[in-house]
């Protein structure tokens, strides 16, 4: 995954959407971290995909599908720490 796509505010929990800009940035950072982690896990779990001509595209699609389905649940747990350290 070369670059993360922009994270829409609609993916943020309601309390974060109505919070400050810093709150939104902290939650988006947590979501971004989770997406990177998912990407790395997908690469490790599917090494044979990298050999194919479209391996990167398939890995990216799988990562995005997993993130879009709720991911691993790391972002909501990481958010309070990021919010606290950003202040």
Convert the pLDDT of each residue in 16-34 to its tens digit: 999 999 999 999 999 999 9
Mutual angle of helices 21-45 and 55-68, in 10-degree steps: 130
Q: pTM to 2 decimals?
A: 0.84
Q: Which residue has the higher pLDDT, 50 or 33?
A: 33
Q: Supply 76's token pair.
A: 């909501």
d(CA 20, CA 35): 23
Q: Supply 87's token pair.
A: 């202040």
Convert the pLDDT of each residue in 66-76 to its tens digit: 988 989 999 99
CB atoms within 10 A of CB 4: 14
Going by pLDDT thresholds of 50, 70 and 90, the confidence category of residue 1 is very low
């Amino acid at each position: 995954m070369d670059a993360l796509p922009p994270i829409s505010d609609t993916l943020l929990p309601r309390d974060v959407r109505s919070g400050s800009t810093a709150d939104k940035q902290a939650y988006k950072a947590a979501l971004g971290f989770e997406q990177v982690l998912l990407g790395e896990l997908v690469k490790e779990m599917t090494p044979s995909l990298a050999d194919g001509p479209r391996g990167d595209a398939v890995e990216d699609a799988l990562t995005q599908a997993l993130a879009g389905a709720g991911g691993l649940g790391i972002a909501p747990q990481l958010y309070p720490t990021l919010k606290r350290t950003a202040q």
